Amino acid sequence: MTISTTIDVRPLSGHTGAEVHGVDLREPLSREVVAQIRATLLQWKVVFFRDQDLTPAQHIGFGRQFGEVTAAHPTLPAAFPEFPEILVLDNEAYASAEATGDGPSIESRWHTDVTFVANPPMASILRGIVVPPYGGDTQWTNLAAAYATLSEPLQQLSDGLHAVHHNFLPIKRGEMPVALKQQFQSKDLRAVHPVVRLHPETGEKVLFVNPNFTSHIVELTRQEGSHLLALLYEHLTSAPFTCRFHWEPNSIAFWDNRATCHLVPTDIPPGMHRSMQRITLAGDVPVGPDGAASYALAGERFD
């Protein structure tokens, strides 16, 4: 049975994020509703759904209505053999005996998912399974709005630059389980992307660098590039471009990975469990304002 309805969209901030109500994601959606959700995603960059008690199969089925669902991750294993598309993000599973104090064992940095391949995911869909009663919110930032508010000279400079992204995690000893870091970096994955990409659906110019996976800018010296990247990171994480989502069990976040960065929470209270399940949708190869497309330095496509 296909459900046809009209969605109720409730924006969360001036630039980023909207809750979508009036839809049951357990059932196949009508073409009209899929188009409405896609249009809302393109406008607000991340959309949220409440009270969606999905099975893993329904989670994957929802994603397939918007694109091809990829494997769980290029290097991290899927948690369920029967669902190789699902990546489990669980603070207890990631806990490290080497970590000290009450802080998180994995350092949190703003990032866009899997930008170390030539075709980063088009979108990610994250489902709240076990959610602490407080703490554990996720934040997103709108990279199209960030680009649009740069000064014209910085826009012109950024339009012609390209950056290397890699899957090396700049994490200090004790901040992440050694086995997990080794698994994440078990393959050499590197790609060159435009610093500004053209959004393939909206035509917007989007900043496409992030503190987690961007290594350096090809056309600049390392010193020049590090200063420019620091400026862009400070700008793109400015509060006006962001929204913050408070998770509840059975909440879902669906974000445009071509136009957002997000920040994993660091305020989960000690002893509280937080477990999420994520799928990703296959993406295209980014293209910059100069017409140059992204390309791999090491590794293969992610599909």
Choice among 162, 166, 262, 274 that is catalytic = 262
Read off φ and ψ for residue 248, nearest 5 degrees. Answer: -130, 160
Q: Which residue out of 26, 50, 109, 111 is catalytically annotated?
A: 111
Neighbours of 207 (CB within 10 A): 27
* Residue among 292, 276, 274 at smallest CA distance from 104: 274
Q: Max Cα separation, the chain?
A: 58
What are the φ/ψ torsions at residue 224 (nearest 5 degrees)?
A: -60, -45
CB 53 within 8 Å of CB 26:
yes
Segments of the chain assigned E as strands: 8-11, 18-21, 46-49, 87-90, 123-130, 138-142, 162-166, 190-194, 196-198, 205-207, 214-217, 242-245, 252-256, 260-263, 275-281, 295-298
Please confirm, yes or no, whether 10 is among the known catalytic residues. Answer: no
| Residue 21 dihedral angles phi and psi, to the nearest 5° | -120, 165
Q: Answer yes or no: are the C-beta atoms of 138 and 267 closer than 8 Å.
A: no
Active-site pick, 190, 193, 274, 278: 278
Residue in 15, 59, 73, 113 annotated catalytic? 113
**Cα→Cα distances 84→42, 56, 73, 279, Å:** 27, 10, 9, 10
Active site residue 262: yes
The yes-or-no answer on residue 278 being catalytic is: yes
Q: Is residue 111 annotated as part of the catalytic site, yes or no? A: yes
Which amino acids are annotated catalytic? 111, 113, 262, 278
